[in-house]
Amino acid sequence: MDWFLLIVAGLFESGFAFCLGKMKEAAGTEWYLWGAGFLACVVISMLLLAKAVHTLPVSTAYPVWTGIGAVGAVVLGIVFFHEPVSFARLFFICTLIASVVGLKMV
């Protein structure tokens, strides 16, 4: 169950990165709404991470959480913000995923 919470926490970390990207493009009331989404995602992500580390080692949970968030942020950036896709970028995202899987396995 704690691994599930950790994965969901990582997805909410991607969510707050997405909200930051949308805030960059927004103005006025829309900026505040995306800011509220950012704050909600941060709070939910941190609470789930805190719950997950009750049983998981912090030295494993934190890198997995940041890895999920980083991969999610890159994918969201490519899909929604039309950020560049290059071989090097995809290669390093794959190595990040492999590292996260390796941490879980050990």
HEC profile for the chain? CHHHHHHHHHHHHHHHHHHHHHHHHCCCHHHHHHHHHHHHHHHHHHHHHHHHCCCCCHHHHHHHHHHHHHHHHHHHHHHHCCCCCCHHHHHHHHHHHHHHHHHHHC
Section 2-12 average pLDDT: 95
Q: What is the pLDDT of residue 102?
A: 87
> What is the average pLDDT score of the chain?
93
Q: What is the pLDDT of residue 27?
A: 95
pTM attached to this predicted model: 0.87
Residue carrying the six token digits 């995602």: 41
Report pLDDT digits (tens) over 84-98. Answer: 999 999 999 999 889
Ranges of each domain in the chain: 2-105
Is the pLDDT at 44 greater than 80, yes or no? yes
